[in-house]
Amino acid sequence: MVNVWESVDAAHEARQFCDIYDLDSTVLLDESGAFIGRTEVRGVPFNLVVGEDGVVLGAGLTHPEELTAFLEARGLIAPEAQDVE
């Protein structure tokens, strides 16, 4: 995953993000904007999910529910527990 941040402490923000989604994967930080500058992305937040083979699996995914559903559907995170009443 490549995560682009506007904050001062991008590494801290990325760790918190991974903790929220229980992600145990490599997160590349683009603090200088060098990578994202070569794309057509014009705003942040922006998430780019890249497979182990280097193929882009998803882009954008800025809404928490959207990102969670995307990662769950691909088995990248465990499904969230559903409340059963």
CATH (domain of 16): 3.40.30
Count of alpha carbons within 13 Å of 43, Cβ hemisphere only? 3
Helices 64-73 and 10-21: crossing angle in degrees, nearest 10, is: 60
Query: Tell me, what's the pLDDT at 34?
Result: 81
Mean pLDDT by 10 residues, the chain (85 residues): 66 83 78 77 77 86 84 84 47
Q: How many CB atoms lie within 10 A of CB 4?
A: 20
Residue 84 domain-assigned (yes or no): no
Query: Tell me, what's the pLDDT at 83?
Result: 45
**Entry pTM:** 0.61
Rounded-to-integer distance, Cα 36 and Cα 45, Å? 11
Residue 58 domain-assigned (yes or no): yes
> Which own/partner contact pairs does 47-52 have at CB distance under 8 Å and 24+ positions apart?
47/1, 47/2, 47/3, 48/1, 48/2, 48/3, 49/1, 49/76, 50/1, 50/2
Residue 42 domain-assigned (yes or no): yes
Query: Tell me, what's the pLDDT at 7?
Result: 62
| Number of separate domains in the chain | 1
Residue 61 domain-assigned (yes or no): yes
| Six-digit token string for 4 | 């682009």
